[in-house]
Chains A and B, each alone.
Chain A
Amino acid sequence: MQYLNEILWYISWPLIIIISVKFVQLNLTHYTKMERLEELETLQEKN
C-alpha cells in the first residue's frame, strides 16, 4: 500500500466538505433563531 496515506488524505475531503456544510448550516440556523428571539424580546418589552 504505497499510496495509503495519500488516498486517505484525498478521500477525507468529501467528508470535510460535508462537515463544513453542516457547520455553516447550523450556524446560519442559529443566527436566524437568535434574530427572531431578539425581535420577540423587543415586542415583549413594548408590551
Chain B
Amino acid sequence: MDISLLDLQIYWWLLVSIIGALFVFMTFVQGGQTLLYTLAKTEDERDLLVNTLGRKWELTFTALVMFGGALFAAFPLFYAVSFGGAYYVWMAILFCFIIQAVAYEYRKKPDNFYGERFYEILLYINGSLGIFLIGVALGTLFSGGNFTVNDMHLSMWTKPTYGLEALLNPFNLAFGFMLVFLSRVQGALYFLNAIDEESITNRVKNVVKRNFLIFLPLFLYVVATILFSKGYVYNSATKIVSMESMKFLHLFLDLPLLLVLLLIGVVTLLWGIYIALFKDSRKAIFFTGLGTVLSVTIVMLILGVHNSVFYPSLADMQSSLTIENASGSYYTLSVMAVVSLLVPIVLGYIFAVWRSMDKTKLTIDEIKADPHHY
C-alpha cells in the first residue's frame, strides 16, 4: 500500500484526536476526586467514592500517557517546542499527576502520619489544578505559544515565564475551567452509575445541575471564540502561515460532515444531562461520555485538516507548527501506522476489564469487606 506522507500525517492527527478525546472523557476520575466532600458526608461514604474512582484511575493515566506518547511520537517538533518551552506548565501538570498516584497508594496505609485528609487534598489538587492546566495547554493549540523555530529545527521560548503566560489569556482560562466543570459533571454521573448507596446518589442531581450551569457558558464562549475569531492557516504550496478571519467557521462550512458530527456530539452530551436531571436515569454517563468523545475529537481534528495550524507561534508566525512541518518522517509514521493496528486489542482488553469491574454496583459494605481497598 502506498499512502502519501500528508495522508499519514492526517491519519496520525486523527488518532491523536480520538485518544485525546478518550482521555478527556476519562477525566471523570479527576472530576470525581473534587467531589469527595460534596457528595460524601461520612468517612465510610468517602471511602466508597475513593474506591469507586480507584478502580479506574489507572485507565485515565494510561489514556493520558497514550495521548502524550502518540502526539509527541508522531509530531516530535511539537514535543521539542512545547515540552522544552512551556516547561513550567508541563512540569506542573506532571506533578499534579504524580501526587494522584501517591494519594491512591498511601491514603489507607497503616501508620500514615499525614492522615487521610492530606491525601484527599492531593486528589483534589489533581482533579482541579491538574485538569485546569491540561485545559490551558490544550487552549494554547488555538491561541498560540511564544516560541520560534529556526531552519535547523532548534526552538526557543521567547518569554521568561516559560508557558505560564498562557494563564493571562481569557480563552485559555475558559478552556481550562470548561474541562474542570465537564469532568465534575462526568464524575458525578459516573458515581450515579456505579454506586448503589442512596445517601450519595440523592446528592448527585444537585451537583450535576450546578456544575453544568457553570460549564455551559464556558463551553459557549470557547466554541464562539473558535468559530468567530481569527484563525491561523498555511498555504499548502508555499507553506506560508497567515491569519484568516473566522477560519474555523469556514472550515465547518467547507467540511459539513465535521459540523454534523460536532452537533451530534453536543446533542448527545446534552441528552445525557437531560435524562440524568429529568428522567432519573443512571445511564446518563454513557451519553455524556459518547458526546464528549465525539465533540472533543472534532475540536482537536479541525486543527490538523483544511490547512490549519495546530500550534500557532505568537512570537514569529512563520514558526507556527502544522501537521506537515512538525511530523516525524514518512518511515516513522508508516511503521507506527502498522503498529497502531494493535490499538483495538489494547482497547478491547480495557473494555473487558472495565465490564468485569462494573458487574456489580458498589456499596459501603462491599468496600469494608475488601482487605485491599484504597
* Nearest B residue (CB) for A21: B348
Q: Among B7, B345, B351, find the residue whose CB has the most chain A CB atoms closer than 10 A.
A: B345
A5 close to B348 (CB less than 8 A): no
Instruction: Indicate whether A20 sits within 8 Å of B1 (C-beta atoms), given known contacts A6-B7, A9-B11.
Output: no
Interface of A is mostly: helix
Q: Decide yes or no whether B168 CB sits under 8 A from chain A.
A: no
B348 close to A20 (CB less than 8 A): yes
Q: Decide yes or no whether B152 CB sits under 8 A from chain A.
A: no
B349 close to A24 (CB less than 8 A): yes
A20 close to B3 (CB less than 8 A): no
Instruction: Indicate whether A16 sits within 8 Å of B3 (C-beta atoms), given known contacts A9-B11, A28-B352.
Output: no
Q: Bound complex: CA of A34 vs CA of B341, how far in Å?
A: 28
Q: Bound complex: CA of A27 vs CA of B348, how far in Å?
A: 11
- A5-31 to B contact mask, C-beta < 8 Å, 1/0: 110110000001100110110001000
Instruction: Indicate whether A16 sits within 8 Å of B341 (C-beta atoms), given known contacts A5-B1, A24-B349.
Output: yes
B171 → A minimal CB distance (Å): 33
Selected from B3, B344, B348, the residue in CB contact (under 8 A) with A6 is B3
B341 close to A24 (CB less than 8 A): no
Q: Bound complex: CA of A28 vs CA of B349, how far in Å?
A: 9
B11 close to A24 (CB less than 8 A): no
* Nearest A residue (CB) for B7: A6
B: residues with CB less than 8 A from A are: 1-4, 7, 11, 341, 344-345, 347-349, 351-352
